[in-house]
Structure 1
């Protein structure tokens, strides 16, 4: 009887140790995969003003009255967010824009931009509770930045230069524009394509 208990205990300990080794091996593999899979930043298009270029100065009418100046030197950076009332991804990002504005209010203004008929945008603005966001309607602005897909964002710094831009479908992609600005690169992908990171992912 004692021998049977002893054997079963030994077998249980062997099983526990084997499981421990398996967990450690899996944890290591997860770590390796995490290092190799780069974060997906905003998808930057090659067309339109390039990162580092001086942003063209616009004086555009605001939805609801008044005008807004874009480009040129300013006390704060500007995130120009292109959206549409019929874009479901844009609607999904609106709460993220609101929380981003609150979190980054020390250095960033967020300006919404679109084109089309004013009444449809007025109704959308009311439904989405966007009354406190500057909202521009300008086909010329979208054409200047070569906006082909939505939602699209352009980050213009305080000196009036394009610091980052791209198609943004998630909070991570939106925040990658800020990361690119802080890192002094055109995009997160450009930063990760540097030789030291490319070698680690190889």
Structure 2
């Protein structure tokens, strides 16, 4: 203000933008603040929900990594189990009067196989024999189709060349199977 005159001059008045809102009443100001609080609360709730989703996703991914980290190793070990079975299948069938050494070798290798499969099962690796079950393209790989024998439905696995293997429910290796076709 000027020293001689108590009335403000145009230079002493603060600039008011032409599009500035008119001064608010107390009720309008309170309504604006409530609206802002509601908006901020909504943003906070959304951020909190997003954080919970992120924690859940991270927990699930960590659990999957723990369960399936050994998948490649498990696939190799399963191959070893199948080779052990092939070796056992190549031995002559047990016969009366066979050499004692052959019987002991067969029994020993069968015990090794049982123990090996038990160790695999303790660590979540399961062997599934598909013979006599319906063909499941999720777990079986059809290697051949043969006419269905008497009393067998078409689409049934009639022979398994190898079993299916899973790791904690996830397919490691499909079974190689022969499927009964329409006669």
TM-score by length of 2: 0.35
The structure with the largest alpha-carbon Rg is 2
Higher relative contact order (CA 8 A, sep 6+): 1
TM-score by length of 1: 0.33
